[in-house]
Amino acid sequence: MSRLADLPSRRLPSRRRARWSVPAAGLAAALVLAAPGAWSPAAVAATCMSLADDAPGAGDAGRILSAVDGVAAGDVWAVGTDFLGGSSQAAAQRWDGSAWTTVVGPPEGKTGAVTAFYDVVASPGAAIAVGTDRGQKPLVGLLGAGRPRLDVLPAPGEEAMLLGAAGRAPDDMWAVGRITVDDRTRGLALHWDGRRWTPLSPPPGDPSGTALSDVAVLPGGSVIAVGWTFVDGYARAYAAELLDDGWAVLDPRPEGFVEHFISGLAVTSGGDLVAVGWGAVEADVYRPVVLRYDGRTWRSDEVPAIDGSARLYDVSSRAGVTVAAGEVTGPDGARRGLVLTLGPDGAWSVVEGPGTAPPDRLFGVGVVAAGDVWAVGDRVGPGGAYGTPFPRIERCALG
């Protein structure tokens, strides 16, 4: 998700990369340094390398990358938002193993529209991206060979947007988000059967407001969506499972926070769910939230101590490798991207970031294959009233 997908007073960039099938059990290893021109999964240093800004055809006022997914080292998709002065345009670009190509980019003129992609799910040679059109209707992009197809879906309300997607197959996809109906924000869920998107009944939530930020499909076929809801005036982590007769609310309860959000969701090689987000411990001070669900109970994972205020936006898991990404605001106010990896001992550790031109925020992460992890976000540079966002791409190797 990008800056256009704001939760109440919070920016919630998206979410966890989905896969056509459940990740197979395999390697669990440390992230290692990968030079842009000579990436090698045999490297041994435990860091990621920040690649040069590479967003061909980006908007004249910058580009934010919100999500990334791929099925092979030469078939990776990243999506987000181009900024064109007073307007914005959904953006999508593809890595073919040697270069990025913009597949969806700025129009010839400034349209005044406000469109954005917040999530992407890849299949061989193609991808489905989800987001919002003019901040009012769900937007879906079917990307692949030939001209991209952008569909604006009908929605019975206002401020509708899709923030997360997952699927069992290219003709069996789920997308979730939020919509405002009669001044009430509620969860939005749709299903794709290869021909059309069908809206589902919204999951129950507090009348004060509920939103869905991500969705995942478990090995047995269960569909679970996560997000946030209001309880007694405070935001609370939210999860619901789609059953034959409707939604059943699950009850994740991270402890020690004034309020908390879930923004990303992934299925591990063992079939468990990992949900990530953040919680407020006091005014403007946040700590990462990591929850695991085994189909029966939720439990909170301990996260390493981080100097500053930190949030996690996305999580991805494949081939036994689980990685989460987000941002840290240090005591000096400087921001930097945050990457955590789950070790074979079940403990999370911080991955050292790049030393030059690091991202301010990492909004999306994707385990493309064993030994190949990508993360995307932005870095704000000079220009405009609030600076210009430059896209940032990190690639991490596994040893």
DSSP state of 41: T
Angle at Cα 358 formed by Cα 122 and Cα 386, nearest 5°?
95
Residue 203: name the closest of 170, 172, 238, 174 by CA: 238
pLDDT for residue 286 is more than 90:
yes
- CB of 29 closer than 8 Å to CB of 44: no
What mean pLDDT is predicted for residues 302-329? 93
Strands 246-250 and 259-267: unpaired
Could you read off the pLDDT of 150-189 as tens digits, one per residue? 999 998 888 899 999 999 888 899 999 999 988 889 999 9
Residues whose CB is less than 8 angstroms from the CB of residue 236 and which lie 6 or more positions away in sequence, other chains included: 228, 229, 230, 253, 259, 260
Question: In 3-state terms, what secondary structure has residue 144?
Answer: coil
CA-CA distance, 154 to 277, in Å (whole number)? 29
Distances (CA, A) of 352 to 66, 186, 348, 396: 21, 38, 13, 11
Confidence of residue 100 (pLDDT cuts 50, 70, 90): confident
Integer-rounded Cα Rg, in Å, for the chain is 19
Tokens for 105?
A: 């980019």
Element (H, E) at 10: strand 10-11
- How many percent of the chain have pLDDT more than 90? 44
- Listed in order, strand segments (DSSP E) in 134-222 are 137-143, 149-152, 158-169, 172-181, 184-192, 197-199, 210-217
- pLDDT score, position 251: 84
| Residue 373 dihedral angles phi and psi, to the nearest 5° | -120, 135
pLDDT for residue 192 is more than 90:
yes
Tokens for 147?
A: 């001209």
| Residue 45 dihedral angles phi and psi, to the nearest 5° | -70, 140
pLDDT for residue 268 is more than 80:
yes
- CB of 140 closer than 8 Å to CB of 130: yes
pLDDT for residue 323 is more than 60:
yes
DSSP letter string over 273-335? Answer: EEEEEEEEEETTEEEEEEEEE-SS-EEEPP----SSEEEEEEEEEETTEEEEEEEEE-TTS-E
Residue 199: name the closest of 151, 158, 153, 139 by CA: 153
Confidence of residue 39 (pLDDT cuts 50, 70, 90): very low
CA-CA distance, 16 to 68, in Å (whole number)? 9
- pLDDT score, position 37: 33
- pLDDT score, position 263: 97
pLDDT for residue 40 is more than 50:
no
CA-CA distance, 227 to 264, in Å (whole number)? 8
CA-CA distance, 107 to 373, in Å (whole number)? 31
CA-CA distance, 333 to 263, in Å (whole number)? 23
pLDDT for residue 364 is more than 70:
yes
Q: What is the dihedral of CA 98, 362, 107, 188, to 10 degrees?
A: 120
20-24, 71-75, 318-322, 355-359: least confidently modelled range: 20-24
CA-CA distance, 3 to 247, in Å (whole number)? 29
Confidence of residue 259 (pLDDT cuts 50, 70, 90): very high
- How many percent of the chain have pLDDT more than 70? 79
Domains of the chain: 6-398 (2.120.10.80)
- pLDDT score, position 380: 80
- pLDDT score, position 11: 32
* Residue indicated by tokens 């604006």: 152
pLDDT for residue 28 is more than 70:
no
- 256-290: b or e for each residue (b if 16 or more CB lie within 10 Å)? ebebbbbbbbbbbbeebbbbbbbbbeeeeebbbbb
Cβ neighbours of 349 (radius 10 Å): 16
Q: In what order do the strands lie in the sheet with 184-192?
A: 158-169, 172-181, 184-192, 197-199
CA-CA distance, 141 to 67, in Å (whole number)? 14
